[in-house]
Structure 1
C-alpha cells in the first residue's frame, strides 16, 4: 500500500537529456549491488576510513532531503517524521521507524530500519556495515532536534540481527 504522501513526490524523467529528478533534485538510480560494491572497494582501499566517508556523506545527504520535504510537503513535527519514514521506504532505503526522543531535551533518539538496502546486499559481517544509513540517522536527529548528533549502529542485519537499529545521541 502506498503512503498518503506518495503522490506528492514529484518525479521528472527526461530520457532525451538523461535527467531524473525526485523532490526537485537530480537523482540517479543505482542498484544496491553497485552501492555495496562501491562500499566494499572503499573498505579494501581505505580500511576504517571508508566508514567515515559513507557516514559523513549520509549525514549531509539527509539534511538536503529533510529540508526539501519540509518545504515541499509543509511538514513539521510528527508529520515530518511520518513523511520521512514514508519517503525513505518509497525510494528503497528500507522501512524507517523513527522513535521518540528520549531523555531530557531529546538527547537520544532510536531509529529502527527494517530491510536495510545495505545490510541485505552486503552479506554476513562481524561488524555493523550500514555507515551511510548511520549518517542518515544522525542527520535526521539533527534535523529534528536542532542539535549536533552522532549515531551508532547497535543492531545490524549483516551481523545476524532481524533489523538494523541506530542510537542517535547529542554530541557533548
Structure 2
C-alpha cells in the first residue's frame, strides 16, 4: 500500500498480528506466484512484455529499498553486510543468497540466489522471469550504498541454470 505521498510505507500494510491471529504472517509460495504471474499476465496483455518487465523491475527496486531501509541499513563493512543480507533473505524465505564477487569500491557484485520465490522449480522456458528480483537487488544496494545500480540476471532457473545469478554494477551516484 501507499502512504499519502504515493510511495510505499511499512505502516500501510496494517497490523498483521491483529488481522491474522490464526494464520499469522506466512503464506504458501504458490499463492505468491499466483499473484505474481496473474499480475504479469494482465500487464503483458495490456502493456506488452518490455513495459511489464520495466514495471516489475521498478516495483522490485521500491521493495528492495524498503527492505534494506527496514532490515539492513547502510553498508558499513562488506562482510557484515553480506552476512546480514544472507540471513534476512533466508529468514523471510526470499532465497538463499551467495556472494560470488564483491567489490564495494568499484560497485560491482555477482551473487546467486537459490530457492528463490520467483522461479525455482518452474519448467524451462526461453526467457528469464526474475525482473522483480533484479529490481529488488538494485534497490537494496542503492539504499545501503547510496549509489545507483543496474542489475542483470545472467543465469536463471527458467533457462536451465538451476540457480539465479545476478551481476550488479554501480552506474551513478544517487
TM-score range, shorter chain: 0.7 to 0.9
- Given the two structures, how large is their TM-score scaled by the length of structure 1? 0.73
Distance 2:134 2:109 in 1: 12
Counterpart in the other structure of 2:44: 43
Equivalenced residues, count: 153
Deviation digits for residues 82-128 of structure 1, max 9, x if unmatched?
2221222222221122344338x232111211112211265332121
Q: Which moved more, 1:150-159 or 1:75-84?
A: 75-84
1:63 aligns with 2:61: no
Distance 1:38 1:114 in 2: 23
Q: Does structure 2 conserve the Cα–Cα contact (< 8 Å) formed by 1:113 and 1:164? A: yes
Counterpart in the other structure of 2:11: none
Counterpart in the other structure of 1:6: none
Change over 3 Å in CA distance of 1:154–1:36 after alignment to 2: same
Counterpart in the other structure of 1:8: none
Counterpart in the other structure of 1:95: 96
Counterpart in the other structure of 2:3: none
Q: Does structure 1 conserve the Cα–Cα contact (< 8 Å) formed by 2:100 and 2:110? A: yes
1:15 aligns with 2:19: yes
Q: Does structure 2 conserve the Cα–Cα contact (< 8 Å) formed by 1:69 and 1:75? A: no
Superposed displacement of residue 37, structure 1 = 2.6
Q: Does structure 2 conserve the Cα–Cα contact (< 8 Å) formed by 1:58 and 1:135? A: yes
Structure 2 residue runs of 5 or longer lacking an equivalent are 1-14
Change over 3 Å in CA distance of 1:160–1:142 after alignment to 2: same
Distance 1:171 1:145 in 2: 12
Distance 1:145 1:99 in 2: 18
Superposed displacement of residue 143, structure 1 = 3.1
Distance 1:61 1:171 in 2: 20
Change over 3 Å in CA distance of 1:37–1:107 after alignment to 2: same
CA RMSD of aligned residues (A): 3.0
Any runs of at least 4 consecutive aligned residues in structure 1 with deviations exceeding 4 A, and if so which? none
Superposed displacement of residue 12, structure 1 = 5.3
Deviation digits for residues 1-50 of structure 1, max 9, x if unmatched?
xxxxxxxxxx95113799x77xxxxxx84723312232233223322111
SS in structure 2 of the partner of residue 165 of structure 1: strand
